[in-house]
Amino acid sequence: MSTTNGMTSITRKFFMALSGFFLLVFLLQHCVINMLSVISPEMFNTVSHFMGTNPMVQFALQPVLAFGVVFHLGMGIMLELQNNNARSVKYAMNKPGENATWMSRNMIITGIMIMLFLGLHFYDFWLPELNVKFIQGDMSGLNAAGEFRYFEELQHKFHDPIRTGLYVVSFLFLALHLLHGFQSAFQSVGFRHNKYTPMIKKLGDIYAIMVPLGFVTIAVFHFLNA
């Protein structure tokens, strides 16, 4: 495999970690903003409108995010393919569970599940959003009644128990992905320290549970209140 794209295995891992870090930050802000919908629909609407119409967010951050997601995904798949190719004859008897966690060994599975979820998520929110704003050219963020449409749309989506269920399951996969990914990213960039690494691992566990739990809470809350 050598230096595909002029990158060595460590460089690839480094960029995988960097995009991971970026997505961690994104996830956190996404979770926090969505949490507003549970606390105060008005506040949620205001922030959503800002995020949806601010040119900085739309034309600078959003493409970066899109690139980050695509890169993380593409690189992840490429690494997985290479890694698979590094051992063409498999073991007849293997006990991988004896020395590594399920999460660490199955990032590709949890990753792909998250990718599938993103498809649904884009279909639910992003595509309609693009349609309204850029094809229909309605940047007002208002519904027919002249109120902000964001909260209403959000709640509307969670009418459906199947969709809500799919979201909840996806967040479970997200949690599994994060349980390994958070601390792994630090290792990949070479950050490891006797004192701080245990703290990072703890922090990673907290993050990996709290953020998806936040999303689950939001989905379930709106399902119940819809």
Partner 1 sequence: MDLTLKIWRQKNREAKGEMKSYPIKGVSPDSSFLEMMDLLNNELIEKGEDPVAFDHDCREGICGSCSMYINGEAHGPDRMVTTCQLHMRKFKDGETIHIEPWRANAFPVEKDLVVDRSSFDRIMNAGGFVSVNTSGNTQDANATPIPKEDADNAFDAATCIGCGACVATCKNASAMLFVSAKVSQLALLPQGRPEAKRRATHMVEQMDHEGFGNCTNTGACEVECPKGISLENIARMNREYLSASMSSDS
Using the minimum distance from each CB to partner 1, give the nearer residue, 8 or 53. 8
**Taking a C-beta distance cutoff of 8 angstroms, is the pair 150, 50 a contact?**
no
135 binds partner 1 (CB under 8 A): no
190 binds partner 1 (CB under 8 A): yes
Site pattern 88..117 for partner 1 (x: CB under 8 A)? xxxxxxxxx-xxxx--xx-x----------
83 binds partner 1 (CB under 8 A): yes
User: What one-character-per-residue DSSP string does 122-174 give?
Assistant: IIIIIHHHHIIIIIS---S-B-TTSSB-HHHHHHHHTT-HHHHHHHHHHHHHH
Q: How far is the CB of 209 from partner 1 (least distance, A)?
A: 19
Segment lying near partner 1 (by CB under 8 A), choices 3-11, 25-33, 43-51, 125-133 = 3-11
Residues 163-182 that bind partner 1 (CB under 8 A): 180
Rounded CA separation 83/43 (Å):
46
Helix axes 9-39, 150-157, angle to 10 degrees: 100
Residues 23-62 that bind partner 1 (CB under 8 A): none
